[in-house]
Amino acid sequence: MDFEVKELVEELTSVKNARVKEWKKLQTRKGRKQQGRYLLEGWHLVNEALQADRGLHELIGTKEELAAHPDIVARFKEVYSVTPVIMAAVTETVTPQGIMVVADLPDLHQVATDLSGAWLFLDRVQDPGNVGTMV
């Protein structure tokens, strides 16, 4: 099936774009705190966030990755098609998967009071790709 860029898909081609700069800020603690959001990278984490019905906002991906999953693309109001150069600039992973989503930071007060179930606490993770492996 060929992927047609829908009206709701905005194509970005410059790393100097204001939106790209905002996504880049989400790689810093200060940026995440200011915006109250963070980036989830990779189809596995995007799917998990969709299943958990978390506050998801913008789906960002290369044309190839967006074309591979039109069912997921259809679930987002804001979809951005970006170049591999932009993807590499925004993500901290060595080999970006070509897809990510902007999500609301969880309410830590709510999380801290519900300690049921399995937990995985991470501290100073050097490679964000390792988080997916651990999860």
Helix ranges, 2-96 (H)? 18-25, 29-35, 43-52, 63-68, 70-73, 84-90
Set out the domains of the chain in order of their start, with CATH numbers: 9-134 (3.30.1330.30)
Buried b (16+ CB within 10 A) or exposed e, 113-133: eeeeeeeeeeeeeeebbebee
* pTM for the structure as a whole: 0.73
CA gap 60, 73 in Å, rounded: 9
Instruction: Please provide the size of the chain in residues.
Output: 135
Averaged pLDDT, 91-106: 88
Q: pLDDT class for 106, splitting at 50, 70, 90? A: confident
